[in-house]
């Protein structure tokens, strides 16, 4: 059974008024039927997305342009990353590509984060801070998490990279983490609850002998860096916000080889480690819910 929740009131619009989505169309010709359907779900006590997080076609196109830069960054990292490279050098690559396109790295100075990208190696779950003295070595696995702002629109995705010859255990962890996205994407469908996706990912990870971090999850993105909804990967099925066309969020489960417990570094207040020192892996995609399924915006 769903927990109770606060329903965000929406401004009432007349049928012949301009639609709230900014399309320029009359409300009755645009989102009138859509809103009627949402109202019916509300009456059934579903948690439905507020209008402010639903993207219109013009906004989606601008977010796609931001995502092109984010994808280029991670493609470049994949071509050039190797043993002997410092994580600060990765940050410098990100800065150069971002600047070339007239964009801004979303992480830089975000709540005090000091770099333009997150670089998380081995037992670092997320939010690793690039540094000159952190040098990649043979056998490492690393998550590079890039987030880009272009003309006020946000993109966000991450990939795992294996450095040289990596142990079979680490390779399997990285591959299962990647496969978990495919498992979750099968459940990204309009008018279905987001918890179905999160639960499927959790079940898949556990079946493969891994655990999933509870405290950190995905999030809405596009018009802001972090929007509703919060996206859990350890939730029960048939819970969470209703997925509807125009909704955009990240799928980014953090999958641990050992237990799911984590801690944050006292030294920098950012870097998240596995409590047991075992490796962790994460891939992230930015997804748009469409009329008949989904579109991957950034990867």
226-281 per-position pLDDT tens digit? 999 999 999 999 999 999 999 999 999 999 999 999 999 999 999 999 999 999 99
Spatial CA neighbour of 284 closest among 127, 94, 65: 127
Mean pLDDT of 93-101: 98
Neighbouring-strand partners of residue 124: 273
Quick one: pLDDT band at residue 10, thresholds 50, 70, 90?
confident
Residues 47-69: tens digit of each pLDDT: 999 999 999 999 999 999 999 99
Phi, psi for 65 (deg, rounded to 5): -65, -40
Residue found by looking up tokens 């991957």 in the block: 296
Residues 153-170: tens digit of each pLDDT: 999 999 999 999 999 999
Architecture of domain 49-298: Alpha-Beta Complex (3.90)
pLDDT score at 11: 83
Question: Residue 2: is its pLDDT beyond 80?
Answer: no
More confident residue, 11 or 28: 28
Neighbours of 255 (CB within 10 A): 28
Residues 210-221: tens digit of each pLDDT: 999 999 999 999
Mean pLDDT of 66-91: 98
Helical segments of 101-193, H only: 168-185
Residues 264-273: tens digit of each pLDDT: 999 999 999 9
Quick one: pLDDT band at residue 85, thresholds 50, 70, 90?
very high
C-alpha pair distances (Å), 97 with each of 101, 106, 220: 7, 13, 25
C-alpha pair distances (Å), 170 with each of 74, 229, 257, 280, 294: 20, 31, 8, 9, 30
pLDDT score at 9: 60
Neighbours of 240 (CB within 10 A): 23
Spatial CA neighbour of 180 closest among 253, 83, 287, 105: 253
E strand residue ranges, the chain: 104-105, 118-121, 124-126, 141-150, 153-162, 192-193, 211-212, 218-220, 227-231, 242-243, 248-251, 254-256, 262-264, 272-274, 280-282, 285-289, 294-298
CA distance 90 to 168: 25
pLDDT score at 7: 42
pLDDT score at 21: 92
Question: Residue 74: is its pLDDT beyond 80?
Answer: yes
Least confident of 17-26, 120-129, 154-163, 239-248: 17-26
Question: Residue 5: is its pLDDT beyond 90?
Answer: no
Neighbours of 177 (CB within 10 A): 26
Rounded to the nearest integer, the mean pLDDT of the chain is 95
pTM of the complete model: 0.94
């Amino acid at each position: 059974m769903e927990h109770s929740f606060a329903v965000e009131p929406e401004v009432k619009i007349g049928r012949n008024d301009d639609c709230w989505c900014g399309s320029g169309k009359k409300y009755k010709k645009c989102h009138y039927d859509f809103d009627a359907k949402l109202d019916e779900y509300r009456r059934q006590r579903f948690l439905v997305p507020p209008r402010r997080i639903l993207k219109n076609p013009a906004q989606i196109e601008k977010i796609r342009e931001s995502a092109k830069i984010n994808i280029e960054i991670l493609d470049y990292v994949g071509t050039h990353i190797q043993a002997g490279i410092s994580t600060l050098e990765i940050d410098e690559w990100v800065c150069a590509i971002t600047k070339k396109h007239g964009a801004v790295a979303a992480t830089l100075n975000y709540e005090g984060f000091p770099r333009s990208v997150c670089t998380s190696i081995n037992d670092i779950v997320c939010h690793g801070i690039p540094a000159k003295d952190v040098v990649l070595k043979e056998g490492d696995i690393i998550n590079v998490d890039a987030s880009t702002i272009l003309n006020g629109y946000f993109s966000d995705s991450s990939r795992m990279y294996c450095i040289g010859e990596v142990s079979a255990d680490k390779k399997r962890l990285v591959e299962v983490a990647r496969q978990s996205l495919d498992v979750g994407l099968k459940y990204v469908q309009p008018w279905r609850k987001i918890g179905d996706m999160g639960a499927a990912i959790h079940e898949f990870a556990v079946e493969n002998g891994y655990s999933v971090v509870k405290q950190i999850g995905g999030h809405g993105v596009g018009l802001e860096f972090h929007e509703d909804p919060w996206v859990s990967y350890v939730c029960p099925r048939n819970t969470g916000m209703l997925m509807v066309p125009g909704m955009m969020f990240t799928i980014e489960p953090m999958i641990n080889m050992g237990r799911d417990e984590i801690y944050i570094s006292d030294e920098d207040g950012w870097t998240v480690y596995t409590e047991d020192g075992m490796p962790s892996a994460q891939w992230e995609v930015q997804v748009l819910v469409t009329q008949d399924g989904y579109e991957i915006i950034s990867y």
